[in-house]
Amino acid sequence: MNKLIVIKIGGNVIDDPAALKRFLTAFASLPGSKLLVHGGGKVATQVAGKLGIETTMVEGRRITDQPMLDVVTMVYGGLVNKQIVAKLQALDVNAIGITGADAGTILAHKRPVKDIDYGMVGDIEEVNSGQIQFFLRQDLTPVFAPITYSAAGDLLNTNADTMASAIAVDMVLHNEVTLVYCFEKKGVLANPEDDNSVIAELTPAVYAEYKAAGTINKGMIPKLDNAFRALEKGVAKVIICHADDVCSAVEQGAGTTLKLS
C-alpha cells in the first residue's frame, strides 16, 4: 500500500517567517506522497482590525460572522495559502493550494447553535478522498486552507486540526497514513513550563490522567482528541512535534507519538 504523510502546521509557525521557511524546507525534503493543512495565524485578526471588524474568540475558537468569514476566506484561502504554495514551488514541490470547496474535497455543515453560536463555522461531514488521491497521482502536493463548504453552497471556517484528522482518516482508504501535528513546542509536555519535558508516548489512559491533573488543557485537548480519533479509525501513526523536528519525527520518532495502548 502507498504511504502518505498528512501534516498540519499551526498558526504560530505561519506568523514567524523564519520558522515557516525552515518548516517548508524540511517538508519539501520528505520523500513520497504528502499533503499539508495549515492554520491561519494572526493575519486574519490584523486584517479584520484594519477593516474595523471586531475579532471575538471563545476558548481559542474564532466566532465567524459573515464579515469575519469574508476576512478568513481572503486571508486563509488567499494570502496565506498562496504564499505557502509559492514558497513550496521555489523548493521544487509542485503544490496546489486549495480549500475544501475546491473540487468538492471537504463537505461540511454549519455548526449547530448550543451554548455558543460560532457563526459560519463548519463541522465536517465528508472528505472526497478519491479526488485528493487524484491530485497525489498527478504528483501534486495539496495544501489545504481551513475553509470548507456546505451543501447549500456556503463557505465555512473550519478548524485546521479537525481538517487534518478528517483527511487522514479518509485517506486510509488508499494509503498507509501518518498524521503529524507540527507547532511551536517539542511535543506534548509533562510540564508546560519545561520545553524539554516531552512525553515520548501517549496513550488514552495516560492522556486522561494528564487532562484530569490540568497538565494538558486548553487548545491541546481538541488537538489530542482529533489525534486519538484518527488512530481509532485506522490512521497508522500520529505524531505531535516541533515544526523544526518534522523530518526526525517522521523518520525517527521525535516528539510525542500517540498509541491506543
62 assigned to a ligand binding site: yes
Q: What secondary structure letter does DSSP report for 42?
A: T
49 assigned to a ligand binding site: no
The maximal CA–CA distance of the chain, rounded, in angstroms, is: 51
Query: Cα(197)–Cα(141) distance, rounded to whole angstroms?
Result: 34
157 assigned to a ligand binding site: yes
40 assigned to a ligand binding site: yes
Distances (CA, A) of 92 to 28, 29, 64, 86, 133: 8, 10, 35, 10, 20
Q: Are 187 and 243 in contact (CB under 8 A)?
A: no
In the block, residue with C-alpha cell 474535497 = 105
**Using CA atoms in the order 45, 86, 8, 27, what is the torsion angle rounded to 10 degrees?**
-140
Please enumerate, by residue number, every residue annotated as part of a binding site for substrate: 40-41, 62, 157
Please enumerate, by residue number, every residue annotated as part of a binding site: 40-41, 62, 157
